[in-house]
Structures are given as structure tokens and as C-alpha cells.
Amino acid sequence: MLEVQNATKRFGGLIAVNQASLKAAAGSITGLIGPNGAGKTTLFTLISGFERPTEGRVLFEGQDISRDEPHIRAQRGIARTFQIVQPFAGLSVVENIAVGAHLRHARRSDAMARAQEVGRRVGLGPELDKSASSLTVAGRKRLELARALATEPKLLLLDEVLAGLNPSEIRDIIPVIRAIRDEGVTILMIEHVMQAVMNLCEQVYVLAQGKIIAEGPPAEVCDDPTVIEAYLGAGAAERLKREKVHA
């Protein structure tokens, strides 16, 4: 469904993404992990169209979309969530979700009906008529998910939807994400919560300093010395191995 081919993004002298390639198969959940500042969000902006790659290509359903505007990509079926959630505070929860639903439904009544359905699906049923500003952090994360989902995407890009949630809120939202995939939406997710990555993702890519340094099933990738060192520094993999032997 999605293929990023040798994408590079430069901001002046800084190379935020460096010759990165990845694939997401239709109907799968793919993870994108890596230390802070690795270039994960920048890679998302190249896929969703908020930035264009300096070099390389983004293919969606086999077509080169690298130069398409974000709204064209949304129409094609790509939706993203934002790490910093900023709902329209003056609107109700359901009206916020309807903003997404308007992509496919011109009439307000149709967009509102669709928004209610999506809101219930992500567990916001009791909150639909409340002001968006009254939501807790967990509620806002669900709203962000609903707003993207209301555009009826084929590919959903989730940028740290679990950040800031407590363990029980994370446990509650994992089945919601899995259910979205089960209904046929392909998911690519940036996530630091490894419990969720292990639980949800079939395939994981690791980005460090703009480069993809590893890919594979989550358990394999987390055992990879290159990945451990990208997070913990040079020599860390060896130290951890020694500590395990002594323990």
C-alpha cells in the first residue's frame, strides 16, 4: 500500500531523513521507532504531504504521490494524527470529528452522522456533545484518532497516540487500534510505548539519525545490538549482555 523509496529531507544543513526506505503492506500495522530527534515525524510529513522529500519518492497504491498536496493525499486515503493534539476548543467533540468527516460528506447532517459513528467506535460515545476543551489527555488522544478516522482513510499514520497516557489508558486503547486495522485500515505508527509496539505491530522499522538502521518483527528488532546502541550509546549492547550473564 505504501512504499517510501530512498527518501531524504534536508532542512538547510541538517539531514533529518537520510535515504530512508520502508514499506507498509495493506491490512498491516507497521511500527516506526527510534530515539528522540531521529526523524520519525519528518518521515510522516513526507508521507502525508506537509513536506516534500529533497530526494526519493513516496508511492501510495503504486502511484508516485511525492509532489501531491496534503489535501490530495487525504482524498486518496491517507490520514495522520498529530503528536500535539489541538482540537477546536470552541466546538463540541462530535463537531471536531465532523471536521474530518467533511472530506467525504459535503452535507452537515451526513458529516455529523458519520462523526457520531466514528466517535462511538473510539470510545467517545458519552463525550460527544461535550466541549472538546473539557476532555482529558486520554480523551483528546481518542478525539485526534477519531478526527483522522472520520476522513475514511485507507492508510492511517499515528504519531505517538499513546504518549501521555497512563498504563490502564494504554491498555484500553490498544484494542481500539487493533479493531481499526481489522476493519481494513492499514496503520503506520510512531510509538515509544514498547508494550504497544510488541502487542500491535507485525513489522517495525528503526530510525536513528535519519537512517533506517533495522527492520523486522518487534522482538527481533529489540534484541538487535545496533538498535540497543542507538538508544543507549556505544557499548551498551555488550554491557547488557554481560549484566544478563552475571544476573
Ligand X SMILES: Nc1ncnc2c1ncn2[C@@H]1O[C@H](COP(=O)(O)OP(=O)(O)OP(=O)(O)O)[C@@H](O)[C@H]1O
Q: How far is the CB of 157 from ligand X (least distance, A)?
A: 12
42 binds ligand X (CB under 6 A): yes
| 3-class SS string, the chain | CEEEEEEEEEECCEEEEEEEEEEECCCCEEEEECCCCCCHHHHHHHHHCCCCCCEEEEEECCEECCCCCHHHHHHHCEEECCCCCCCCCCCEHHHHHHHHHCCCCCCHHHHHHHHHHHHHHCCCHHHCCCEHHHCCHHHHHHHHHHHHHCCCCCEEEEECCCCCCCHHHHHHHHHHHHHHHHCCCEEEEECCCHHHHHHHCCEEEEEECCEEEEEECHHHHHCCHHHHHHHHCCCHHHHHHHHHHHC
Cβ at position 176, least distance to ligand X in Å: 22
Which of 18, 41, 81, 96 forms a contact with ligand X (CB under 6 A)? 41
Task: Provide the minimum distance between the beta carbon of 183 and ligand X in the complex, in angstroms, as a whole number.
Answer: 27
C-alpha torsion 168→149→79→184, nearest 10: 90
* 14 counts as binding ligand X under rule CB under 6 A: yes
Nearer to ligand X, 41 or 92 (CB): 41
Instruction: Select the residue interacting with ligand X from 36, 86, 109, 168 (CB under 6 A).
Output: 36
Residues 7, 16, 20, 46: which binds ligand X (CB under 6 A)?
A: 16
Among 31, 39, 87, 218, binds ligand X (CB under 6 A): 39
Q: Which stretch binds ligand X (CB under 6 A): 39-47, 118-126, 140-148, 227-235?
A: 39-47
Query: For ligand X, which residue of 7, 20, 24, 38 counts as binding (CB under 6 A)?
Result: 38
Q: Does 194 bind ligand X (CB under 6 A)?
A: no
Cβ proximity to ligand X, 35 vs 216, nearer residue: 35
Q: From the CB of 211, what's the least distance to ligand X, in Å?
A: 12
Residue whose C-alpha cell reads 477546536 in the numeric block:
88
Q: In the complex with ligand X, which residue's Cβ is closer, 43 or 150?
A: 43
Q: CA separation (Å) from 235 to 73, 222, 240?
A: 42, 16, 9
Q: Shortest Cβ distance from residue 5 to ligand X (Å)?
A: 19
C-alpha cell at 177: 487500534
Stretch that binds ligand X, among 8-16, 66-74, 91-99, 176-184 (CB under 6 A): 8-16
49/119 with CB nearer ligand X: 49
The number of residues that bind ligand X (CB under 6 A) is: 11
Residue type at position 76: R
* Contacting positions for ligand X (CB under 6 A): 11, 14, 16, 34, 36-42
